[in-house]
Amino acid sequence: MDTVFIQGLKIDCVIGIYDWERKIRQDVVLDIEMSADIKAASVTDNIEQTLDYKAVSKRLIDFVSSSEFQLVETLSEKIAQIIISEFGVEKVKLTLNKGEALTGATGVGVIIERSRG
């Protein structure tokens, strides 16, 4: 398997458990590594035979920006499920960074890895 990646995809959404967080929008930043067989595309130079990272990012922007989860864990899981089920990815590694949500830290969040089946 090869890896197609998206780094630093910033999306604003409603995320958090506190009342004040439910009233504002915050940025989350996604780093995504997706295992896919892209060899055929390298031979044919045809986008139809690869994992289209633009299509993945558009789908995630639409989903995340309209979501209102409380936990980054839940949001991360849903994102991984979308990537695997809708784009045929065998394995995904996702880092979701909620930024400066913790005083004194430049970033907090989760890193998950999920596989098909």
Determine phi and psi for 34, rounding to 5 degrees: -125, 125
- Per the domain annotation, does 97 fall within a domain? no
Domain count, the chain: 1
The answer as to whether 15 is a domain residue is yes
Residue 98 lies in a domain: no
Q: Is residue 81 part of a domain?
A: yes
Return per-residue pLDDT of the chain as tens, 117 residues: 899 999 999 999 999 999 999 999 999 999 999 999 999 999 999 999 999 999 999 999 999 999 999 999 999 999 999 999 999 999 999 999 998 778 889 899 999 999 998
Q: What secondary structure, in 3-state letters, does 78-108 show?
A: HHHHHHHHHHCCCEEEEEEECCCCCCCCCCC
Whether residue 63 lies inside any domain: the answer is yes
**Proportion of the chain in helix, strand, coil states, percent, rounded to 5:** 35, 30, 30
Residue 76 is assigned to a structural domain of this protein = yes
Residue 77 lies in a domain: yes
Which range of residues forms the domain containing residue 28? Answer: 2-45+53-92+103-115
CATH number of the domain that residue 76 is part of: 3.30.1130.10
User: What pTM value is reported for the model?
Assistant: 0.94
Q: In the block, which residue shows the tokens 């458990």?
A: 17
Helix axes 72-87, 53-66, angle to 10 degrees: 140
